[in-house]
Amino acid sequence: MSDTMDNRGFRGNRPPMRGGSGKARATSGPAFSWSEPRPAENPPAPQPAPVASEKKRVLFICIGNSIRSQMAEAFARAYGSDIIDAYSAGLQPATMIAPLTRQLLQERNISIDGQFPKGLELTKQVFDVIVNLSGQSLKIPGANIVEWPVTDPIGHKEQVYRDAASQIETLVMRLIMDLRST
């Protein structure tokens, strides 16, 4: 222990902290000065630069474009606006969005201001994915159609609307995650 103690205190083979007497000390390992950074044992591998992906155009279709497809569009816009350009349409568009649809989305702090029921004239445009919530068979040549079997809550109690909203929200989140990973 006496070889590690001197007039500079307990420092062992480490260099002096301040000034010191200027005497060189014998060391058994490599000499490093405090101004030089130590080399990394295993330097981190360089990370690839993130690739900017373009947004996917997604169309959500239900019967009246008043409940399910409106909810899906709203969730996609709220949660996946970085990856999805969301649209919605109905096979037989209603005259207005169901008030309970607005209420349930508002409870989740999701606005659908400016939204209104639209018809299938949008299907003449090109979409990367068409999500069918209508429960009916859709035949759109060349389209990538995904079926989501979500109960139509029209005419049912509020809990059916809430269950549909939760199911649609989960499905939209899965779609967003899938699109982000591809």
Q: Kindly report, residue by residue over 67-125, the tens digit of the pLDDT.
A: 999 999 999 999 999 999 999 999 999 999 999 999 999 999 998 888 899 988 766 77
Residue 17 included in any domain: no
- Return d(Cα 179, Cα 182) in angstroms, integer: 5
Residue 33 included in any domain: no
Instruction: Provide the β-strand partners of residue 88.
Output: 60
Residue 141 included in any domain: yes
Residue 131 included in any domain: yes
Residue 101 included in any domain: yes
pLDDT band at 150 (very low <50, low <70, confident <90, very high): very high
Q: Which of 11-15, 92-96, 150-154, 161-165 has the lowest mean pLDDT?
A: 11-15
User: What does the pLDDT read at residue 137?
Assistant: 87
Contact between 72 and 88 under an 8 Å Cβ cutoff? The reply is yes
Strongest mean pLDDT among 7-11, 14-18, 117-121: 117-121
pLDDT band at 138 (very low <50, low <70, confident <90, very high): confident
Q: Structural domain tally of the chain? A: 1
Residue 122 has φ and ψ, to the nearest 5°, of -65, -25
Residue 138 included in any domain: yes
Q: Which domain holds residue 145?
A: 56-181
Query: Average model confidence (pLDDT) for the chain?
Result: 79
Contact between 68 and 62 under an 8 Å Cβ cutoff? The reply is yes
Residue 153 included in any domain: yes
| H helical segments located in 4-143 | 68-80, 99-107
Q: Report pLDDT digits (tens) over 155-178.
A: 899 999 999 999 999 999 999 999
User: What does the pLDDT read at residue 19?
Assistant: 55
Q: Which two tokens stand for residue 160?
A: 């059916």
Strands 84-90 and 56-62: parallel
Q: What is the mean pLDDT of residues 139-166?
A: 90
User: What does the pLDDT read at residue 143?
Assistant: 81
In angstroms, the Cα distances linking 44 to 26, 38, 41 are: 33, 15, 10
pLDDT band at 35 (very low <50, low <70, confident <90, very high): very low
Q: What is the CATH number of the domain that holds 127?
A: 3.40.50.2300
Residue 40 included in any domain: no
User: What does the pLDDT read at residue 29?
Assistant: 47
